[in-house]
Chain A
Amino acid sequence: AQKVTQAQTEISVVEKEDVTLDCVYETRDTTYYLFWYKQPPSGELVFLIRRNSFDEQNEISGRYSWNFQKSTSSFNFTITASQVVDSAVYFCALSEPGIQGAQKLVFGQGTRLTINP
């Protein structure tokens, strides 16, 4: 069975600090997709990244970066120079592949990130 573990329930840092959110996953599939979503207090899910299991390159997008390591089944997310607007709950998720690409998701428990001014 698939499983996603976000061991950090809550993280609180001061603005401008760097922060890393951990994500560890379990799957027996050789092909899968990994996702990160942001959920601000308004409740909607904001898509951040999707990564195919065959693509282990790290990715950087502005202040966001992701470290995918298949050897440790981890897909960690780092925010550099954090800002108050980064405060949200962040979810890591795992999808089984399908003929149509990513399909239903298994979510981690989420990490509530609070950035204090």
Chain B
Amino acid sequence: SAVISQKPSRDICQRGTSLTIQCQVDSQVTMMFWYRQQPGQSLTLIATANQGSEATYESGFVIDKFPISRPNLTFSTLTVSNMSPEDSSIYLCSVAGTIPVNTGELFFGEGSRLTVL
């Protein structure tokens, strides 16, 4: 299995600022994903974090707004840039492809609850 630690667990931010969310996994994984869950809504995939290359963004999400880093097989960051109240959401990190034994499972972090005033 994989245990995911996300930081911060919650934060309150001012409009126009940026916040970086960290996702740390206790084991190496091949795949890392970032999801957004707006209040009262479902989860939507933002992007796939690729190690050593640019993230792959889903339709409607762009790198300038949500820059992502993945320097190694256990860590990734998501930055929410130039925040507005519409960015208030829970941001979740998900991983798959545990190394060395891949169980085919998906794991989710506990989420980072962001409120933008």
Contacts and interface: CB of A to CB of B under 8 A. Distances in A.
Contact of B42 (A43, A44, A91, A98): A91
Contact of A109 (B42, B92, B96): B42
A105 B45 contact: yes
Nearest to A110: B42
A44 B112 CA distance: 10
The range of chain B's interface size is 20 to 34
Interface in B31-64: 31, 33, 41-45, 48
A45 B92 contact: yes
Contact of B44 (A37, A95, A101, A107): A107
Interface in A4-55: 33, 35, 37, 43-45, 47, 50
Interface of B is mostly: strand
A63 interface: no
Contacts of B100: none
B105 A44 contact: no
A110 B41 CA distance: 8
A44 B110 contact: yes
B101 to A, nearest CB: 11
A105 B96 CA distance: 11
Interface of B: 30-31, 33, 41-45, 48, 90, 92, 94, 96-97, 102-108, 110-111, 113
